[in-house]
Amino acid sequence: LLLISCTLSLVGNAFAWSSGSSRREALRVGGAVVVGIGSSALPHMKQALAVDLKEDYRQGTAALANMDDAAPVPREAYKKLSSGVVYADLRPGKGDPVVQAGSRVNLQWVLRRSNGYFVDSSEVQNSVPFIFTVGDGKAIYGIDEGVLGMKEGGVRRILIPPPLAYVQGLEDGKPGPLPAGYGPRQQMRRIQSVRKDVPGEYVFLEVQLTRLR
């Protein structure tokens, strides 16, 4: 039983910075600014609903081991960043270091559409982690910003407005984590082209930070 914890109405406000500032600097300055979520911030957020989904929707949940996928995420657990990215920590990590601009991280991930439908995961791709340095442009912006503050071993659910997702395309070498294969990539292309302005549309990623340095 997969629980879709909330329906979110997100406004895809691309995180802006001056032409003279680097992406990494922009993350330092504004990426961690959190806007408290209340009824005014997310007027369409609803109570967690239990949805009996088909197996196609449930695929990939094993990629984030030892998670209780029957546990709803309370509304107050979600935090909204100034860019429009929303996240909730499903499991806290350990240790003192946290992800910041310039950190090099390994992520295991599960990618879904906004209705919870499974698209792809690192587990399907032979459990090869997505490795990048925060702010170097190798990750989609919503992930660059959404992993800030995580600790090693932590698991986070990140909801990314399309303008902060696969805006540079889904071909090999583009910012990731990238789904593999024609079908999964076409699903994301459709969101980026046809559904990018649909209220409540977002890219749904659950990530586990397996290494931080």
Separation between Cα atoms, residue 60 and residue 55, nearest integer Å: 10
Closest among 124, 101, 88, 85 to 3, alpha carbons compared: 88
Q: Which residue has the higher pLDDT, 36 or 140?
A: 140
Task: Kindly tell me if the per-residue pLDDT of 78 is higher than 80.
Answer: yes
Q: What is the mean pLDDT of residues 64-84?
A: 73
Task: Kindly tell me if the per-residue pLDDT of 5 is higher than 50.
Answer: no
* Tens-digit pLDDT profile for residues 169-182: 999 999 999 999 99
Q: Could you tell me the pLDDT band of residue 35, with boundaries at 50, 70 and 90?
A: very low
Exposed e or buried b per residue across 45-61, where buried means at least 16 C-beta atoms within 10 angstroms of its C-beta? beeeeeeebeeebebbb
* Tens-digit pLDDT profile for residues 91-130: 999 999 999 999 999 999 999 998 889 999 999 999 999 9
pTM, rounded to two decimals: 0.72
DSSP character at residue 179: P
Task: Output 119-123 pairs: Cβ under 8 A, ≥24 positions apart.
Answer: 119/179, 119/184, 119/187, 119/188, 120/60, 120/179, 120/180, 120/181, 120/184, 121/59, 121/60, 121/63, 122/63, 122/177, 123/60, 123/62, 123/63
Amino acid at 48: A
Q: Which residue has the higher pLDDT, 53 or 72?
A: 72
φ/ψ (deg, to 5) at 187: -60, -45
